[in-house]
A and B are shown apart, each in its own frame.
Chain A
């Protein structure tokens, strides 16, 4: 097994493995120093392959990027994060497809009041109870829909009902995060943030029921260490005003 994994390091360095194999290699790397050394050399070699296909990009790419950086917040340095972590594998949540469906369903729900949750139920059975509550929010008479692009990519959508004092928050395709990080949701009243949910570590798409809105002003999202923090430790990626 070890030998087999070891021979995959070359393919891994070229991003030529599938997701399962990538995880297998990464597990193997954690306790094989010589493999990490070999990977370092292979990666450095692979980077040189770029020198063979250099193409001057169109000027509009430069203009677009430089035009966007002054509107793009930079994250603060942190000793616990490293360049390597940015290259952690993309974790596609198994029910990401369901989320897409949910997005569609939400639109349908808000426009026609017609909701079919069979698809969601079949894929996230264990969350049935929560889904029933979510369904109630999505179909509430006073449901309000809002949406915001998140810093770093993706968007946050929210359907809230003042009457039920609940909201359904959907994170879709947010900035990729490392496996030891997680998105966390906060209700902010004045300047007091209260955690209202931590998304599974490494996942950048999720749906979350938020209860007890209790007159909060803002629903915010931050990146935190896996498992969440007591108070936000990074700037909000998105902050959505709650209806009053």
Chain B
């Protein structure tokens, strides 16, 4: 369901930039390989898998939920679900990273849309801790190649494309809510999200 090739490339980049306790002449260990080993009950492989992609999973949860405690809860649920279902991982359908991050985003959004979380979030928003607090508190990893690449590509979107995509993905809003927030007609929002994704896809060279 995902484009495996592109995500494996992304995965390789991140693992190559991270110190790994393996000798240089061993085969590079990708998230895909590690999750495949995890399916056989290999806990140390899963620990390495966690180390490689936890910042993405936790980062997405934190950005959507805006609450470290809830982000930890959801990230934990996600990793345990991936551990349980590791045997169902099929690299043909997409990379292990894509599988896990997609699941994390979905679960975080589900949590946001549950009534209780929405209430909490409104309360926090009312208390004045919005975007600013998040950016101050969370130490976003900015020294990686992937970060700079995404940033460069986001910068190439039109303002409304960028707003629509970031409110939807990072804000966990539906496109209807995005329309309300931006004061934009719904068909326009849908189109901007789609056009923006196409432009991002091409800029990030997600393999077609």
Q: CB within 8 Å of B: which residues of A?
A: 7-11, 13-18, 36, 39-58, 60-62, 64-66, 68-70, 72-78, 81-87, 90, 151-153, 175
B76 to chain A, nearest CB (A): 6
B121 at the interface (CB under 8 A from A): no
The complex places the Cα of A47 from the Cα of B193 at a distance, in Å, of: 15
- The contact of B87 among A48, A65, A77, by CB within 8 Å, is A77
B34 at the interface (CB under 8 A from A): no
- The contact of B190 among A11, A42, A49, A51, by CB within 8 Å, is A11
Q: Is the CB of A51 within 8 A of B149?
A: yes
Q: Is the CB of A44 within 8 A of B3?
A: yes
Q: CB within 8 Å of A: which residues of B?
A: 1-3, 6-7, 10, 39, 41, 43, 46-47, 50-51, 54-60, 62-63, 68, 71-72, 75-77, 79-81, 83-90, 93-94, 97-99, 101-106, 109-110, 138-141, 144, 146-147, 149-151, 154, 165, 168-170, 172-176, 178, 187, 189-191, 193-194, 196-197, 200-201, 204, 206, 208
The complex places the Cα of A103 from the Cα of B85 at a distance, in Å, of: 30
- The contact of A74 among B10, B84, B93, B206, by CB within 8 Å, is B84
The complex places the Cα of A87 from the Cα of B86 at a distance, in Å, of: 14
Q: Is the CB of B85 within 8 A of A9?
A: no
The complex places the Cα of A89 from the Cα of B57 at a distance, in Å, of: 20
**B93 cross-chain contacts in A, Cβ below 8 A:** 82-84
- The contact of B197 among A13, A51, A62, A86, by CB within 8 Å, is A13
- The contact of A11 among B41, B94, B175, by CB within 8 Å, is B175
Q: Is the CB of B59 within 8 A of A49?
A: no
**B197 cross-chain contacts in A, Cβ below 8 A:** 10, 13-14, 42, 45-46
Given contacts A11-B175, A51-B10, contact A66 B97 (CB under 8 A): no
**A13 cross-chain contacts in B, Cβ below 8 A:** 197
List, sorted by A's number, 29 A–B pairs whose CB atoms are closer than 8 Å: A8-B190, A11-B193, A14-B169, A15-B169, A16-B168, A41-B206, A43-B2, A44-B2, A44-B201, A47-B97, A48-B10, A48-B206, A50-B56, A51-B56, A61-B54, A64-B76, A65-B50, A68-B80, A69-B83, A75-B85, A78-B88, A81-B88, A83-B85, A83-B89, A83-B94, A84-B93, A86-B81, A86-B99, A87-B1
B169 to chain A, nearest CB (A): 5
Given contacts A50-B101, A83-B89, contact A40 B140 (CB under 8 A): no
Q: Is the CB of B72 within 8 A of A58?
A: yes
Given contacts A13-B197, A45-B204, A61-B75, contact A86 B103 (CB under 8 A): yes
Given contacts A16-B193, A69-B80, contact A48 B150 (CB under 8 A): yes
Q: Is the CB of B85 within 8 A of A51?
A: no
Given contacts A40-B3, A51-B10, contact A17 B75 (CB under 8 A): no
The complex places the Cα of A151 from the Cα of B191 at a distance, in Å, of: 42
Q: Is the CB of B3 within 8 A of A57?
A: no
- The contact of A53 among B62, B102, B149, by CB within 8 Å, is B62
Q: Is the CB of A82 within 8 A of B90?
A: yes
Q: Is the CB of B150 within 8 A of A40?
A: no
Given contacts A7-B190, A83-B89, contact A153 B204 (CB under 8 A): no
Q: Is the CB of A10 within 8 A of B62?
A: no
Q: Is the CB of B2 within 8 A of A40?
A: yes
Q: Is the CB of B50 within 8 A of A62?
A: yes
In this complex, the member of B47, B83, B196 whose beta carbon has the largest number of chain A beta carbons within 10 angstroms is: B83
Q: Is the CB of B141 within 8 A of A55?
A: yes
Residue of A with least CB distance to B110: A90
Given contacts A11-B175, A61-B75, contact A53 B3 (CB under 8 A): no
A191 to chain B, nearest CB (A): 25
The complex places the Cα of A203 from the Cα of B63 at a distance, in Å, of: 29
The complex places the Cα of A46 from the Cα of B204 at a distance, in Å, of: 11
